[in-house]
Amino acid sequence: MLSSFASAIAKTFRPLMSSSTPSLPLPNTTHASNLATLFCLSHPSPSRPALPPELILQILAHPTRWLLSRSETVIPPVPIRVVNNHLPIITLPPFTAEEIKALRRVVFRFRSRDQGYSWDSQNHGTYGGSWTWFEAIVRSGRHDGPDGPASHPENEDKVKKRFELQRNRHAGTRMESYEIVFDDGDPRMLELKTLLTEGDVLELRACARFPAWMNNVEEAKVEVWSVDDLASRG
């Protein structure tokens, strides 16, 4: 017997699944590919019967079928310099309840270095004793000022969680690229989804602490990946 989850999918897409050919135009996107997969697997072929809806839903929920639902990139003409402070580099728009439910992966990418020198020579070239870093911030988005998140003094009171992502190499002289992934099954992703409520925002912040410590940010990007609505209904 079909679960209510599978029944909802079958009912929603019965016109497509019962047609001899797909009734929708299929552009070259992951969602279009998922629609084509749904159509093909729900129809019998000479070599196999039609697959049950529960199995089709498991296939559509596989990571290779996730959708890139948000992508924000910052490439300034000159590196952003953060000195003894913190600065939002990327702030995503507020999440909806549906987006939180479908959320499966968040990818943070950035290219950066510190000021390139310090008195602490024993930590040069390592990540020890580094006072420049990046954080992912979860906060309420309801109190942003007219010029964005940095313009409103109450924002720090609305921070729900800080995830430290990466420290810069101590006294690094060259820009380095980093990628940090919160994936489905990762404890950080579980905590993120638990914390997020409708209207909350996710920020990538560049941080530096103590005078003379400088976080130089050459570029940054945040990607949000979600399960297809085809597999998240019900």
- The residue ranges of every structural domain in the chain are 4-60, 67-232
CA-nearest of 101, 110, 132 to 196 is 101
Kindly state the helix (H) or strand (E) to which residue 72 belongs, with its residue range. Answer: strand 67-74
- The pLDDT value given to residue 29: 54
pLDDT digits 0-9 by tens, 166-211: 999 999 999 999 999 999 889 999 999 999 999 999 999 999 999 9
Taken as a whole, the chain contains a residue count of 234
Beta bridge partners of 158: none
Sheet holding 200-208, edge to edge: 86-91, 200-208, 132-140, 159-167
Contact 166, 133 (CB under 8 A): yes
Place of tokens 């890139």: 68
Amino acid at residue number 129:
G
- The pLDDT value given to residue 78: 96
Q: What is the rounded CA–CA span in Å between residue 108 and residue 134?
A: 10
pLDDT digits 0-9 by tens, 137-178: 999 976 555 555 544 545 677 899 999 999 999 999 999 999
Largest CA distance in the chain: 73
According to CATH, what is the number of the domain 67-232? 2.60.120
- The pLDDT value given to residue 31: 59
Model pTM score: 0.76
Which residues of 84-183 form beta strands (DSSP E)? Answer: 86-91, 103-113, 132-140, 159-167, 176-182
